[in-house]
Structure 1
């Protein structure tokens, strides 16, 4: 078993469909007045992301997208998901 599989195998445990649903739901909620993820990214681009709650919001609403990106960057670990019981 390679080091990459041992280090990044856990990224492939949830199904891609579940990650996509989480990314859509957390990315667009709340819809009104604008999606949180867009608001926080706009704040980041303008240098206004300074409060800890805003930083947490960016992390919370963006983690599924980050997970999907990391999963796509580690194809060698695909199919290896070992959950110990």
Structure 2
């Protein structure tokens, strides 16, 4: 697993705009944990998922981010950059 700097984890959690209870509904205690689980559940590269989450913004954590990661896992577009591939 890739080590993510504490400063990045704190930044990701501070950027949260969705109520914390929504992340808890997904079994996570913060935004970073949710993003980490999303990456792991789809076999995606965590730093790449963090980068996409940053680009999309926290408002897209449960919509656009999920769709982007799922599309990548299915091989659409730039999937090899996110999900282990060539």
TM-score range, shorter chain: under 0.3
- Provide the TM-score with structure 2 as the length reference: 0.27
The structure whose RCO (Cα within 8 Å, separation 6+) is larger is: 1
Structure with more of its chain in helix, by fraction: 1
Greater radius of gyration (CA): 1
